[in-house]
């Protein structure tokens, strides 16, 4: 993927985020976000989701969102007769918000990418295998999951893909998985994921 721009438009949402390679359906209806969408479609088709931090107070110069997100590419968009739109946002790269611009009807954020560090690939591979084993155990014990997701588990080829896929699809609460977006160390990310999966494990 080409380098990201220095800034991206941000749609501010409660309890909503997207991970790299994840797909997020969005319904755009507010006038400010209709304008944001039109400008994004005319440009590089990229936006970010700013996930509201429930413990942060609103400020005049910045929205009350977590500092990390995922730059997303608008893969498909259908405009409805009433001016609203349905779109699919595909997560691409982890980013950190640096500064904010409110000169438009919507927020625009300066960003920097957050590359993943994998200092011990063998450890990461073992942790990824453990996370997959946990999820397969959930499924064996009757966890309801659609068939395409089950099939996709077999296609995951790297510990990073495993970490992001399992976090996005098996940690149902976006606030539970939000901290993972800011973790650049892969082993730390996988350890956090395994701990959360253990807490959320279905009853045997």
The confidence score (pLDDT) of residue 155 equals 87
Please report the DSSP string for 137-185 in residue order: HHHHTT----HHHHHHHTT--SHHHHHHHHHHHH--SHHHHGGGGG--B
pLDDT tens across the length of the chain (204 residues):
557 999 999 999 999 999 999 999 999 999 999 999 999 999 999 999 999 999 998 888 999 999 999 999 999 999 999 999 999 999 999 999 999 999 999 999 999 999 999 999 999 999 999 999 999 888 888 666 666 677 788 889 899 999 999 999 999 899 999 999 999 999 999 999 999 998 765 554
Q: How far apart are CA 78 and CA 84, in angstroms?
A: 9
pLDDT at 204: 44
Q: Are strands 7-13 and 85-101 parallel, antiparallel or unpaired?
A: unpaired
- Name the DSSP letter for residue 113: E
Global pTM reads: 0.91
pLDDT at 158: 96
What's the confidence (pLDDT) of residue 59?
Answer: 81
Please tell me the predicted confidence (pLDDT) of residue 2: 57
CATH homologous superfamily of 7-113 equals: LON domain-like (2.30.130.40)
What pLDDT was estimated at residue 147? Answer: 62
Q: Residue 190 and residue 6: Cα distance in Å, rounded?
A: 29
Q: What's the CA gap between 96 and 101, in Å, rounded?
A: 15
Per domain, the residue ranges of the chain are 7-113, 121-199
């Amino acid at each position: 993927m080409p380098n990201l721009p220095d800034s991206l438009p941000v749609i501010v949402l409660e309890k909503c985020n997207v991970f790299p390679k994840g797909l997020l359906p969005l319904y755009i209806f507010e006038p400010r976000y209709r304008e944001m969408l039109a400008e994004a479609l005319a440009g590089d088709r990229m936006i970010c989701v700013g996930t509201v931090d429930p413990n942060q107070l609103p400020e005049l110069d910045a929205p009350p969102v977590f500092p990390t997100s995922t730059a997303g590419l608008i893969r498909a968009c259908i405009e409805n007769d009433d001016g609203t739109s349905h779109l699919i946002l595909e997560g691409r790269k982890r980013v950190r918000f640096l500064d904010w611009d409110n000169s438009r009807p919507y927020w625009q954020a300066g960003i920097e990418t957050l590359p993943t560090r994998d200092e011990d690939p063998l450890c990461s591979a073992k942790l990824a295998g453990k996370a997959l084993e946990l999820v397969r155990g959930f499924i064996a014990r009757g966890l309801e999951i659609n068939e395409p997701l089950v099939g996709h588990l077999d296609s995951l080829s790297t510990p990073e893909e495993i970490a992001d896929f399992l976090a996005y699809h098996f940690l149902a609460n976006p606030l539970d998985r939000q901290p993972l977006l800011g973790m650049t160390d892969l082993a730390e990310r996988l350890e956090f994921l395994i701990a959360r999966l253990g807490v959320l494990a279905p009853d045997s």
